[in-house]
Amino acid sequence: MSEDWNTKYGTRRVKRDPPTLEEAIFAAMGITEDLDQQAEIAAALMGMPLEAVQTEVKKASRTAARSTRVIAGEQGAQRSIVVERKVSRRIIGNDKRVGA
């Protein structure tokens, strides 16, 4: 399919944004925890040399390690939380109210 095509509303075009290196590193972090494998995955996704990507992976891993937080409850016990959603009732149709 071509980049531009005509519809009854006019010419349409798909915007194509290639992924950034940060996005490739973020995807690699979700796949594996090993830094060397993350660099290989990100380099393969971006088509860049491995050495250039390894420095960026190391920078990203340092910032990710600093932002890790663990919040514990009372003496480390885990709690279960149940969230129930109350559905509001809607009257479909005429806006006639009973008794009005």
Query: For residue 76, which amino acid is it?
Result: G
Residue 70 lies in a domain: no
Residue 73 lies in a domain: no
The model's pLDDT over 28-45, given as tens digits with 9 standing for 90+, comes to 999 998 999 999 999 999
Largest CA distance in the chain: 76
Per-residue pLDDT of the chain in tens (100 residues, 90 and over written 9): 458 889 999 999 888 887 899 999 999 999 998 999 999 999 999 999 999 999 999 998 887 665 555 566 666 566 667 777 766 666 666 655 555 5
Number of domains in the chain: 1
What are the distances in angstroms from CA 85 to CA 79, 88, 89, 90, 91?
19, 9, 12, 15, 19
Question: What is the predicted pLDDT for the residue at 1?
Answer: 47
**pTM of structure:** 0.52
Query: For residue 42, which amino acid is it?
Result: A
Question: What is the predicted pLDDT for the residue at 83?
Answer: 72
Residue 31 lies in a domain: yes
**Angstrom distance (rounded) from CA 99 to CA 91:** 15
Residue 94 lies in a domain: no
Residue 5 lies in a domain: no
Residue 96 lies in a domain: no
DSSP code of 98?
Answer: T
Residue 30 lies in a domain: yes
Question: What is the predicted pLDDT for the residue at 4?
Answer: 87
Look up the domain containing 50 and give its range.
19-61
